[in-house]
Structure 1
Amino acid sequence: MDDAVPKKATGITVSSTIGTQTFERFNPIDFPSAINQISGVYMLSGALNTNRITIRGVGARTPYGTDKLRLYFNGIPVTNGTGFSAIEAYDFENLGSIEVIKGPKGTAYGSNLGGAILLQTKTSSIDETRLTNTSTFGSYAMLKDNLSFVHSEEKFALTFAYNHFETDGYRQNSQFERDGFLLNTEFKISSKSSLSFLTNYIDYTAHIASSINLTDFEEDPTRAASNWLAAQGYEANKYVLTGLSHTYRFSEKLKNTTSLFYTYLDHYEPRPFDILDEFTNGFGFRSVFEGHLAKAQYVVGGELYKDEYHWGTFENLYADNNGNGSLQGNRLSKNTEFRRQFNLFGSLTYPFSEAFSAQLGLNLNKTHYTFNDLFNEGDANTSAERNFDAILMPNFGLRYSFNFGQLYANISRGFSNPSLEETLTPDGVINPDIAQETGTNYELGSQWLLCQNRFSANVTLYRMDIKNLLVAQRVGEDQYIGRNAGQTRHQGLELDVRYRANLTHKLIATPYVSYTFSDHSFVDFVDGDNDYSGNPLTGVPKHRLSTGLDLQHTNGLQWNLTHQYVDNIPLTDANTESSSSYNVFNAKLGYRTQLSNHMTLGLHTGINNIFDENYAQSVLINAVGFGGAQPRYFYPGNGRNFYGGARLSYIF
């Protein structure tokens, strides 16, 4: 992982962090390749707007999107009221780091079974005023531009970044256009008090090629699904996050950070089967006290997230629109959902000696859903409430440090809530028997720094036993219901190794390897008359390998070669179908030079998928073919493609 990136996880909680050193190995729109450098973390990307992040196999069965983890942006929780997170709401080039807490051991960042992902914006040096513009052009008529202004002084800091991105896409009906801005400010009110304000805005329209069947995938992966192509399906999103945070240092041993935040999402999506029109207002707070009590370090706090989700569906009359795509018809449904989650957390870290520490954490979660059917009347009305019992999740960790590394162990409990839609029966009525998934995570690991910190290695063994597995059962083209269907066992090995070698006094070579072994299986899973107990967990490759080589010269020249191997992925619970394994290679060449005392220039060019591999960058598990059609399991990755650009920076 990257050097010199500050850790946000509390106490001795182990996490993995990547920063700009990793980001700059890739095309600035290639979020998946960067985050997939972290062992145990797998981001499947069906399209720029269709991403699913799984951590240690948790969330692999979710049909679309990312759930069962918590996402934070500059310390503000941005996971919605039903547990879904939208990583595509943030511009990759605005990020300074991504920190991942794997499994439910985070406590202060929730006890979700998948863990937590902490996104942090770039930081600036004090007494600096800088204007930077980065432009990148590439295959598929791709254009991306990021313009940022940074001003920082002792008592005030401001960052403003505007970004524009557009591409025709590799596949049919995959055009994408996005505009957005980020405003981040911080004021030092006094020696003890500081105030920060954050606004992130994204407006994008993404056409949807959707998944395709095996024949189309093998013959021509640029094809879109025929029904999505005929409807010219797309989604249009406007997303706003705004937050106000105050930090007050009571003394050298106690400080508090409190954040108030508001989110808004406006989403419109014409689909072949209907048109979805929705908007969500979300708001909440997070307050954290950090302090020392004698030798112990403690963290105590809470967060509340509430949102109001308004959605409805309409007929899509694209078949009667003379080939002009989607056309909105009569209303089919109108609903509102009120969703509330409250987390109360605390952890205590106690050093028994300079080398040996222990940490105890507790997280209490309370979740409530209210569903209002505003369309149907009488017996057909499906309005209902679901109030989950409060659930308490403990976490216990040990760490032993020595001169060249550390050993650690952790046992923690975690949970996942079903979404409101998963609690519905096929008739649209809330099923009170749907329970939260719960699991116990066991973890042993070590971190090593040798050869004057030029060699680093992290090795982790884990096992997670999950009960009341939530299964999304498909009952229509876009209708899923949930139920608890047994138990899964997630166990595996994660390995990260890096070595920094001085080939000459001007040339540095850094080879690295990240390997993930996932032995995940159904322990007890009976679906109707089918018993899938013992089968591999659907949607998880057994082996993943990320390797690379960075070469850096003191003259400003840098070359990166990266490789990713993904094993075959089981596509059905019966284990009768699987995707093919693949290898993808990328390369990037960059150069930076000082044009004057105030101006620097950076140039970059790269090639992705060097050997033009036909591979599935994402899959849809348990796909069903309707009307005798083949199941559509596959989201093809891009073919061989090129990009290049320039970064011009002026320091005032």
Structure 2
Amino acid sequence: MKVLVVFFSILPTIVLAQITPKDSITQLDEVVLTQEAIPKKTTGITSSSKIAGQTFERFNPTDIPSAINQVSGVYILSGAINTNRITVRGIGSRTPYGTNKLRMYFNGIPVTNGTGSSTIEAYDFENLGAVEIIKGPKATAFGSNLGGAILLETKASVQDKTQLINSFSMGSYNMLKDNLAFSHSEDGFNLSLSYNHLETDGFRQNSQFQRDGLLLNTQFRTGKKSSMALLVNYIDYTAQIPSSINQTDFEEDPTRAASNWLAAQGYEANKYILTGLSHTYLFSEHLQNTSSVFHTYLDHYEPRPFNILDEFTNGYGFRTRFAGTWGKADFTFGGEFYRDEYHWGTFENLYEENNGNGSLRGAQLSDNTEFRRQFNLFGTLTYPITANFSTQMGINWNKTHYDFRDLFNQGEFNASAKRNFNAILLSNLGFNYQWQQGKFYANISRGFSNPSLEETLTPDGIINPDIAQETGTNYELGTEWTPFQKRLSASIAVYRMDVKNLLVAQRVGEDQYIGRNAGKTRHQGLELDLHYRGRLSPSVTFLPYLSYTLNNHSFVEFVDDDNDYSGNPLTGVPKNLLSSGIDFRHSNGLQLNLTHQFVDEIPMTDANSISSDSFNVFHAKLGLRTSLSSHIGLGLNAGINNIFDTHYAQSVLINATGFGGAQPRYYYPGNGRNYFGGLQLNYVF
């Protein structure tokens, strides 16, 4: 660790000794423009937020949550590298673990499973060129989920170049990361292939993490009017699980793991593969189509203190989208079908009888299969009423079916059942007024959320026939403008979303949740994003930025047994969020990034009887990009996370319950002060 501190302190001296100005300016600008130039994927006038290369460069290459948390209205609660819960405008805050209630796409291919779960940790931060977020149910062509959609795009190949780039990073907690990427681009053909490896011991006990991954992405022209694309993403990772801890452990020693998870040496092992093949055809200058077929496979093994989970999921699907013009109007329409087979079984965990050697598999406790399928049809029509004023109408139709089969119990104890949700039609209406320096927009849209697997089952493992889909209506007004000769970029949005049939995952055992519809919530908020670009001198630019979120979310009607929580703030959501920072860039390739995040206190129980503490956390990163020759580029960076060693909870578990007289475990501690440094070599053939 001392080596990293010394490296960080002498980096400016190294930088000044390595500068070759003209070459470095050309290469830096080219890399940044390539990544920022990835166009938005939203349909027509649909508003969205996008982060790309410049935002990613501010952070440790293992820290995708901090990058996405730069977007107002979005907050990732990160308990560990493999434990992330994405909330958008408060939607998803009540999910116990993981992310649901939104749709996620990777290069246009849906990667959300049959019950709506998405895993951002399945993708290497350094392979991403852009992340686009559609907040609220207005996505239409990418689903009408209440939380919206997240569109992940890989880095674009630099046109007409062949490159080999190796990025190596090391840091605190014995962190080592390497990403080796090859890319080739020529007329009608683009290829990128990367291998990534990450390992770390983690900040806490029982938190080692190791991941290896391969990504292949290629596009090639098959004719004057057609092209094909192939995407393969393979991830193999093993992650120990420290789990959440109680308040005493959190205050006394946040590096502790939960005692039962430590004794069981709990972990999860995952092998995940996504394969997608896409075809684009240009029928005419007024109509084109992109169609994709895809397959996903996840093999998951997780020894927990209460049992051992062994599961795998096989999924496949098809997506087609037509886009074109009809007179003055632009239109899109298409469909998406997804089906997966989820097989899982649980076994006794005899770790207490294993002489301190951790988990030991015992007798089988359950054996289940669930077949899940979803079908979406969508269409949008964008029409310019005047040169500056446009309107857009959208329709999304969803049909969901679950078929649960109990392969373990027989006769009257067999819990097999089917759940066929009624088809749901979701509309979207938007308006957009454009002027020279910006735009004003308004939107009304309806959305839904399917219940997760746990929420569809009773405590006895039987499908609950009364559970209903969440539905909601979103009202939104916003504006974006770029005054002062486009040096300032500003956007502000206000919204209100009314959600009914609120899905509640109620904990009834150490690993047992049941779902039910428990009332209504109201999501109201304000989102502000500011970016400014100025000059301190002809060679030095500075870029301050700020993203602020006001969350005013509450239960309108929520009665839990004899408890009436109506009027209480929504659990799991901070009222105020602020991300800010400033980038300094020198024309010689030197840059300094200073970032700050404020998170308000978070209500952790429906009764609002306990909340997490608010916190401020600061990071810094210093980097250089320069050229050693006409073919070789060099990048150096070093940084400090949590500069002031703030003690804070990076994630919380809502409505935690203590069992056997133990304190409830609410807290996932954030990392203490830690350091990282990296080296990148780029060879252009």
Identify the TM-score tier after normalising by the shorter chain: over 0.9
- Letter of the 2:50 counterpart: T
1:229 and 2:258 are equivalent in the alignment: no
Q: Deviations along 1:322-366, whole A, 9 cap, x unmatched?
A: 000000000000000000000000000000111000000000000
Residue 147 of structure 2 is aligned to residue 93 of structure 1: no
Is the 8 Å Cα contact of residues 36 and 130 (structure 2) preserved in structure 1?
A: no
Amino acid at match of 1:640: R
> What SS does the corresponding residue of 1:81 show, helix, strand or coil?
coil
Counterpart residue number, 1:126 = 159
- Structure 1 residue 204: deviation in Å? 0.2
Is residue 369–residue 420 contact of structure 1 (8 Å, CA) maintained in 2?
A: no
Match status 1:577 vs 2:610? yes
Residue among 215, 221, 226 paired with 1:193? 226
Task: Specify which of 422, 428, 431 is matched with residue 461 of structure 2.
Answer: 428
Q: 1:432 is aligned with what amino acid? A: P
**Residue of 343, 348, 355 corresponding to 1:315:** 348
Equivalent position to 1:549, from 573, 582, 590:
582
Match 1:142 to one of 170, 175, 187: 175
Q: CA deviation at 1:426?
A: 1.8
d(CA) in 2 for partners of 1:639 and 1:441?
Answer: 39
Alignment of 1:379-458 (within 5 A): 379-458=412-491
Shift of the alpha carbon at 1:125? Answer: 2.2
Counterpart-to-counterpart distance in 2, 1:125 and 1:20: 14
What letter corresponds to residue 204 of structure 1 in structure 2?
Y
Q: Distance in 2 between matches of 1:199 and 1:317?
A: 38
Q: Which residue of 2 aligns with 1:285?
A: 318
Q: Distance in 1 between matches of 2:267 and 2:245?
A: 16
Deviation at residue 3 of structure 1 after TM alignment: 5.3
Residue in 1 that maps onto 2:289: 256
Displacement of 1:526: 0.1
Distance in 2, matches of 1:122 and 1:194, equals: 19
The answer for the alignment partner of 1:463 in structure 2 is 496
- 2:104 maps to which of 67, 71, 78: 71
**What secondary structure is seen at the aligned counterpart in 2 of 1:370?**
strand
Look up the match of 2:18.
none
**Cα distance in 2 for residues equivalent to 1:150 and 1:498:** 32
- Secondary structure in 2 aligned to 1:228? helix
Corresponding position of 2:679: 646
Match of 1:621 in 2: 654
Alignment of 1:170-209 (within 5 A): 170-209=203-242
TM superposition shift of 1:430: 1.5
Is 1:601 aligned with 2:626?
no
1:156 aligns with 2:189: yes
Quote how far apart the aligned CAs of 1:70 are.
0.1
* Equivalent pair of 2:81/2:121 in contact (CA under 8 Å): yes
Aligned to 1:474, the other structure's residue is in SS state strand
CA contact (8 A) 2:346 2:364 kept: yes
- Is the contact between residue 238 and residue 267 of structure 2 (CA under 8 Å) also seen in structure 1? yes
Which residue does 2:534 correspond to in 1?
Answer: 501
Asked if 1:341 is matched to 2:341, the reply is no
Provide the C-alpha distance between the structure 1 equivalents of 2:38 and 2:652, rounded to a whole number of angstroms.
Answer: 33
Deviations 1:516-559 (A, max 9, x none): 00000000000000000000000000000000000000011000
CA distance in 1, matches of 2:679, 2:322: 43
Find the aligned partners of 1:6 and 1:157 in 2 and give their Cα distance. Answer: 17
Rounded Cα–Cα distance in structure 2 between residues aligned with 1:421 and 1:449: 46
- Structure 1 distance, partners of 2:224, 2:248, is 66
Q: Report the Cα offset of residue 416 of structure 1.
A: 0.4
Q: CA deviation at 1:601?
A: 0.2
Preserved CA contact (<8 Å) 2:182 2:192: yes
Equivalent-residue separation in structure 2 for 1:125 and 1:158 (angstroms): 10
Q: Is 1:22 the counterpart of 2:55 in the alignment?
A: yes
Match of 2:75 in 1: 42
Quick one: structure 1 residues 90 and 77, their matched pair in 2 at CA, closer, same or farther if it must change by over 3 Å? same
Partners of 2:454 and 2:505 within 8 A in 1: no
Shift of 1:124: 1.3
TM-superposition CA deviations, 1:466-511 (whole Å, max 9, x none) = 0000000111101101000000000000000011001110000000
Partner of 1:59: 92
Percent of matched pairs sharing the same residue = 72
Aligned to 1:558: 591
Q: Which amino acid aligns with 2:356?
A: G
After superposition, give the CA deviation of every residue in 1:375-424 in whole Å (9 maximum; x if it has no partner).
Answer: 00011100000000000000000000011100000000000011233121
Letter in 2 for 1:121: T
Using the size of structure 2 for normalisation, the TM-score is: 0.95
Residue number in structure 2 paired with 1:109:
142
Aligned to 1:230, the other structure's residue is in SS state helix
Of 605, 622, 625, the residue aligned with 1:589 is: 622
Contact 1:5 1:17 in 2 (8 A): no
| Distance (whole Å) between structure 1 residues aligned to residue 68 and residue 668 of structure 2 | 19
- Pairing 1:365-380 to 2, within 5 Å after superposition: 365-380=398-413
Contact conserved, 1:561 with 1:585, CA < 8 A, in 2?
A: yes
User: What's the CA shift for 1:645?
Assistant: 1.0
1:255 deviation in Å? 0.3
- 1:126 is displaced (CA, Å) by 2.0
Shift of 1:5: 4.0
**Correspondent of 2:600 among 567, 575, 585:** 567
- 2: distance between equivalents of 1:247 and 1:233? 45
2:11 — aligned with what? none
**In structure 2, C-alpha distance between the alignment counterparts of 1:183 and 1:125, rounded to whole Å:** 16
Distance 1:87 1:502 in 2: 36
| 1:303 counterpart residue number | 336
> Equivalents in 1 of 2:575, 2:659: separation in Å?
30
Name the aligned partner's letter for residue 463 of structure 1.
R
Equivalent position SS for 1:190? coil
Per the normalisation by structure 1, the TM-score is 0.99
> What secondary structure sits across from 1:106 in the alignment?
coil
RCO greater where, 1 or 2, for CA within 8 Å and sep 6 or more? Answer: 2
User: What corresponds to 1:486 in structure 2?
Assistant: 519
C-alpha separation in 2, matches of 1:144 and 1:534? 47
Give RMSD over aligned pairs: 0.9
2:3 corresponds in structure 1 to none
Distance 1:74 1:127 in 2: 21
Equivalent residues of 2:36, 2:53 under 8 A apart:
no
Q: Give the helix-richer structure, 1 or 2.
A: 2
- Over 3 Å off, 4+ runs: 1-5
3-state DSSP of counterpart to 1:451:
helix
Contact 1:70–1:112 (CA under 8 A) maintained in structure 2: yes
**How far has the Cα of 1:431 moved from its partner?**
1.6
**Structure 1, 121-130 or 63-72: larger mean CA deviation:** 121-130
Instruction: Determine the C-alpha separation between the residues in 2 that align with 1:429 and 1:127.
Output: 58
What is the CA-CA distance between 1:183 and the residue it aligns to?
Answer: 0.3
Q: Output the amino acid matched with 1:262.
A: H
The residue number in structure 1 matching 2:14 is: none
Structure 2 unaligned segments of length 5 or more: list them.
1-31
Distance 2:463 2:616 in 1: 44
* Corresponding residue SS for 1:104: coil
Q: Does the residue aligned with 2:90 lie in a helix, a strand or coil?
A: coil
Deviates more, 1:417-426 or 1:363-372: 417-426
3-state SS of paired residue (2:66)? helix
Tell me the distance in 1 between the aligned counterparts of 2:669 and 2:441. 40
